[in-house]
Structure 1
Amino acid sequence: MPALPRPAFGPGSRYTARAATTRSRPARHTDVAALTRILTGRDLWLARMLYEHRVLTTRQIADLAYLSLRSAQRRLRSLHQHAVLDSFRPLTQTGSAPEHYTLGPAGAAVLAAHAGCDLADLGWRPSHTGRIAYSPSLSHDLGVNELLTRLAAHARTDPGVGLTLWLSERSCARRWGDIIRPDAYAHYRDGQTLLPFFLEYDTGSQPLARVEAKLTAYAAFTTTTTGTRPALLIHTRTASRDQALRRRLADTARELHLQVATSSADFTTTHPWGPWWAPLQPGAHRTTLSRLATLWPGLTPAAGLEPTDADTALTLPVPPLPPAAEAGP
């Protein structure tokens, strides 16, 4: 991949695809047939994850699929060498940012072959990594993925607890975009307790009135779709923004009969399953995700999750964790 030009100002000025210029690659990408000899089930799972969720950091991939950061780095370098993955590293004011991985040209070709479609039908373009690296929504997308990666990876240290389903914003839009457009949809399971939820990842850039207007859409979704009643989790950047949202949304959520809980990055940085979520109810205390499910016994998964004839191998949900037999070195 050639070096990407970096604008002098604006969102794109903060990022560059440095890995593409510092890591050697063969002049011609490995063909798909040759890749069948080296790609494992975990590699194919990672390609699907990056197609679904667009970008993941080295640490996020390691938490989901490897026993150590070193083993993850070693395999990711190999996949980058074969153009299965592309990568870039955001520029920071101080220190060094982690590598950010995206789907590479060979990886896209493999997924297209598995789905029985052309590369163009996949929606992948040679500018794929550049568009992600320069996107003004990169920080938002990484925040969503960081929160849900930690929830999914929790199952590796505490079996039976973690995500059993994780849909990206794009997958949510494909299913429910005519009514709602959440940042993600997921199922969090703790033993026999299930918390189905939509996620709104609030960066503080939208006026409170616009966030409040989204509640009307979620209420319409739960009332017009039979047997559907997921929770709505709103994650914010700061505790002050969290409090502002709670003051603005509490009455609306009650009138619309929505089950809503909020938290912020001031609490949920490393253990988002912990007691950091406060229901939008007077006098509510912060509690765990598992406890939310017991406080709201009427919750049910969203409709529209069942496979249909229109689904392909690329539109079906990707398991949040890789094949169990390969979730090691």
Structure 2
Amino acid sequence: MTDRDLYLLDVLAAHRVLTAEQVAALLYPSVDRAQRRLLALTRRGALERFRARVYPGSQAWRYTLSYPAVQLVAARRAERPASRSAHNTTVLRLARSRTLEHQLGVNGFFTSLARDAAARPLTRLANWYSESTVATALQWDHGIREAIRPDGYGRWIEGPRVTTFFIEYDRGTESLERLGGKITGYATYLPGMTVLYHLHSALRETHFHHKLIGAGREGVATTTAELLAASGEGVSGPVWLPAGPGTRRRLRLSELPGSGFALQANEWGAGTAPIPAPHLPEVA
């Protein structure tokens, strides 16, 4: 297996599932190249794939680790792997999970950042940590338990600017009260931390900003799936609308204020494979 293959296994060990489009954004110059490599790895037993039956048309394959890949990742980390039956149950539950599309949305956000970084000099998505990794690191390193549960953590480097952030990925299933209520936890435990809300629609974004009036909103910025689709901008581009009475201009990710806060996940399942390109993140 190549370094790129081993890195992909680390990504899937941390983030569970990817589509071919997401793998291409992360590691390949085209979706076709990614699909061919994913098919080869599946045929060799390194990956498993699944998709739901839809009519008309077909759903894109979702790729996850095979059991031999789980064993390989565990061996490289000097860990004991789950049993084969436990792995099979995990894959079945993942394929049937109500939160699968949410997980893919979060992963798509980070793989899009990696694609943006590849296109720019002196730019890198340095860290990409999962919800479970963040929860563990916050609890053990900072004593924060249930008050904060972001969907992921990233560290974005663009030239001399470093932006660390949490992401809250919204598919329109939670109430605005619940979304806004999360800000209280961030304001209490990590004041000034950049929190990105990727919202479902422009209307939802407008209503969300109204909900934030009077709330502790320092560091909060929003974008929408509609805006990203219509503008063609990447998620690192000028698509982020800061909350509060200041500028109403949308900012680049690198223009958002940095808090100086950083998570270290080396002890919480960080990958062991060599990172195959300088713009790619450490994953955990």
Q: What band does the TM-score fall into relative to the shorter chain?
A: 0.7 to 0.9
Shift of 1:317: 5.7
> CA separation in 1, counterparts of 2:175 and 2:84?
35
Residues in 1 aligned to 2:81 and 2:226: alpha-carbon distance in whole angstroms: 42
SS of match in other structure, 1:120:
coil
Q: Aligned match of 1:172 in 112, 134, 137? A: 134
User: Which stretch shows the higher mean deviation, 210-219 or 62-71?
Assistant: 62-71
- Structure 1 residues 196 and 64, CA gap change in structure 2 (3 angstroms): same
1:216 equivalent among 184, 188, 204 = 184
Q: Which residue of 2 aligns with 1:148?
A: 110
Separation in 2 of the partners of 1:125 and 1:244?
Answer: 42
- Distance in 2 separating the partners of 1:84 and 1:127: 17
Conservation of the 8 A alpha-carbon contact between 1:83 and 1:104 = yes
Supply the distance in 1 between the matched residues of 2:186 and 2:32 (Cα, whole angstroms): 42
* TM-score w.r.t. length of structure 2: 0.86
Counterparts of 1:125-204 in structure 2 under 5 Å? 125-177=87-139, 178=145, 179-204=147-172
Residue 287 of structure 1 aligns with an amino acid whose one-letter code is L
The separation in 1 between residues aligned to 2:158 and 2:259, in whole angstroms, is 15
TM-score by length of 1: 0.75
| 1:112 to 1:121, Cα distance in 2 relative to 1, 3 A | farther
Does residue 305 (structure 1) correspond to residue 267 (structure 2)? The answer is no
Please, which of 206, 212, 215 is the counterpart of residue 252 of structure 1? 215
Structure 1 runs of 4+ off > 4 angstroms?
Answer: 121-124
2:224 pairs, out of 264, 269, 274, with 264
Bigger drift between 148-157 and 63-72 goes to 63-72
1:108 CA displacement: 0.3
User: Could you say which residue in structure 2 is the equivalent of 1:235?
Assistant: 198
The separation in 2 between residues aligned to 1:132 and 1:306, in whole angstroms, is 24
Give the AA of the match of 2:13.
Y
Larger Rg: 1
**AA matched with 1:264:** T
Q: Measure, in 1, the Cα distance between the counterparts of 2:243 and 2:31.
A: 38
* Partner residue, 2:276: 323
Residue 284 in structure 1 maps to residue 248 in structure 2? yes
Change (3 A) 1:322 1:61: farther
Match of 2:277, as an amino acid? A
Q: Is the 8 A contact 2:77 2:272 kept in 1?
A: no
Following superposition, the deviation at residue 71 of structure 1 comes to 2.4
Contact in 2 for aligned 1:195/1:289 (Cα 8 Å): yes
CA shift, 1:121, in A, is 8.2
Cα-to-partner distance string for 1:217-275 (whole Å, 9 max, x where unaligned)? 1122215xxxxx43011111111111111110232124xxx211011101124511222
Instruction: Give the unaligned 5+ runs of structure 2.
Output: 140-144
Q: Please give the per-residue CA displacement for 1:48-68, whole angstroms capped at 9, x wherever unaligned.
A: 100111111011111211233
Helix, strand or coil at the partner of 2:125:
strand
Q: CA deviation at 1:124?
A: 5.7
Gaps of 5+ in 1: 1-38, 224-228
Aligned-pair identity (%): 35
Supply the distance in 2 between the matched residues of 1:90 and 1:40 (Cα, whole angstroms): 30
Number of residue pairs matched by the alignment = 269
What CA RMSD, in Å, does the superposition of the two structures yield over aligned residues? 2.5
Secondary structure of 1:250's counterpart equals: coil
1:140–1:201: 8 Å Cα contact kept in structure 2? yes
